[in-house]
Amino acid sequence: MGKKDKISINFVNNLKYTEFTVFILTFLKNILSISDDDMFKIEISLREVINNAIIHGNKSDPGKRVYLDFEWEKNLIILTVTDENEAPVDFNSILQKIEKRDLLSFNGRGILIMRNYMDSVKFSNIKGGTRIVLEKHV
């Protein structure tokens, strides 16, 4: 893989910043000539992952922050979102609910959307937070 360009931001734990992240994505749409269909899928996934970080990861705590990296090269965009969730997330349990089609459970719908719209979705519990990496070939 070649060298990727990157924009890194972090912001206070507030849903108003979701729109700002979409603004940056729209800027990248023009640079990468992302199709409208792919843009829709990436935007919905970005909104889900940011809102999940704010609401579920950081528990809507205004004292916490969300970290977002946009990385891209010619035909690939990578979004890395990290929250400051102190408790490890049991992603296996959430993924099992998704596999069982238990979509009425509160957790997991956003993950299902991301997994269907993005080419790769990776979850990890890291020291001091939770990290989700989304990749889409465009």
132: which strand partners? 81, 123
Q: String of b and e for 84-116 (b: at least 16 CB within 10 Å)?
A: bbeeebebeebeebbeeeeeeeeebebbbbbbe
pTM as predicted: 0.90
What is the model's pLDDT at position 1? 52
- Its domain, for residue 35, covers 5-137
Residue pLDDT, tens place only, 56-66? 999 999 999 99
- Token pair 């729109």 is found at 19
Total of domains in the chain: 1
The confidence band for 134, taking pLDDT boundaries of 50, 70 and 90, is: very high
H-state helical runs in 67-108: 91-99
Residue pLDDT, tens place only, 68-118? 999 999 899 999 999 999 888 887 777 777 677 655 555 667 888 999 999
- Look up the CATH number of the domain holding residue 103: 3.30.565.10
